[in-house]
DNA sequence: GCATTATACCTAGAGTTAATAGGTAATAGA
DNA sequence: TCTATTACCTATTAACTCTAGGTATAATGC
């Protein structure tokens, strides 16, 4: 019973989190907005989705954190570790593989 | 709390089932093999995944069934109803939208 | 003839993930 | 002052997938 990702599906929030944090460190609340913005409002994961993802990625050593107080509000900045970069590459390869497999099947003229 | 598909993710087995059955009617066991074959072994959903999907699609009126005994073994052939065609189109549009959104984000040079 | 494999159906339970719905606290703005 | 925004968080529910079974017949191998 591995703690790892499901065999095929999902993992989209995780993928996006790693992708955006790879560009620059961000704090959770900022990330939620960033995903919405980067997707032109097509995708919107609530805080209740993103925070648990951040925590589990940190537990796995894929993210490192830095705490900072700005305007009296405490922020937790996340950045991607080398482990996290590997994880992202794996997830991306996996996603692209799935995506291309599905595209092929869907577009095929006819199936025996 | 709708019984419908999750807002974003999953639904891949359902999508493939509808896609393959759109080409020709099949029975469950055949479908399991067909998905494996159509994906060049990239995807393989066990019977325990496919049968429940078939049943729920039938419950929703997306599939109709026909029973036939061949070589002493009973088969349940499924075919796509008009409702099922609509469902497939929705699922596909949804999938493509998701896929293209993710592709855009992943490929973007940098995120503000 | 007997045992194993393949065909064909099925369900139950576990595991993973996401979605909802909360709840705390400080600041900014009306 | 009251509300909205910022910023964090967790718990519960719901959904779906995955594993692991279980039944039964036919075909194949020994």
Give per-residue pLDDT as tens, B56-111: 999 999 999 999 999 999 999 999 999 999 999 999 999 999 999 999 999 999 88
- pLDDT tens-digit map of A15-58: 999 999 999 999 999 999 999 999 999 999 999 999 999 999 99
Chain A interface includes B7 (CB < 8 A): no
Query: Residue B3 — very low, low, confident or very high, per pLDDT cuts 50/70/90?
Result: very low
pLDDT band at B5 (very low <50, low <70, confident <90, very high): very low
Show the tokens assigned to A15: 């993928």
Residue numbers of the domain that contains A78: 12-107
Q: List the CATH number of the domain containing B51.
A: 1.10.10.10
Asked if the structure places residue A1 within a domain, the reply is no
The helix (H) or strand (E) run that includes residue A67 is strand A63-70
Number of neighbouring beta carbons within 10 Å of residue A43: 19
The answer to whether the C-beta of A13 is closer than 7 A to strand C is: yes
CA of residue B71 to C1' of nucleotide C17, angstroms: 42
Is residue A60, in this structure, part of any structural domain at all?
Answer: yes
Provide ipTM, 2 decimals. 0.89
How many domains is chain A partitioned into structurally?
Answer: 1
- B112 domain-assigned: no
State the DSSP code for B61: T
Mean pLDDT, residues A87-106: 96
């Amino acid at each position: 019973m591995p703690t790892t990702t499901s065999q095929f599906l999902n993992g989209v929030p995780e993928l996006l989190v790693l992708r955006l944090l790879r560009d620059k460190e961000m704090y959770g609340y900022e990330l939620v907005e960033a995903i919405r913005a980067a997707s032109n409002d097509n995708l919107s994961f609530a805080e209740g989705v993103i925070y648990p993802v951040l925590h589990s990625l940190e537990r796995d050593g894929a993210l490192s954190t830095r705490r900072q107080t700005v305007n009296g509000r405490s922020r937790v900045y996340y950045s991607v570790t080398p482990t996290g970069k590997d994880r992202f590459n794996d997830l991306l390869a996996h996603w692209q593989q799935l995506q291309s497999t599905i595209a092929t099947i869907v577009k095929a003229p006819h199936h025996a």
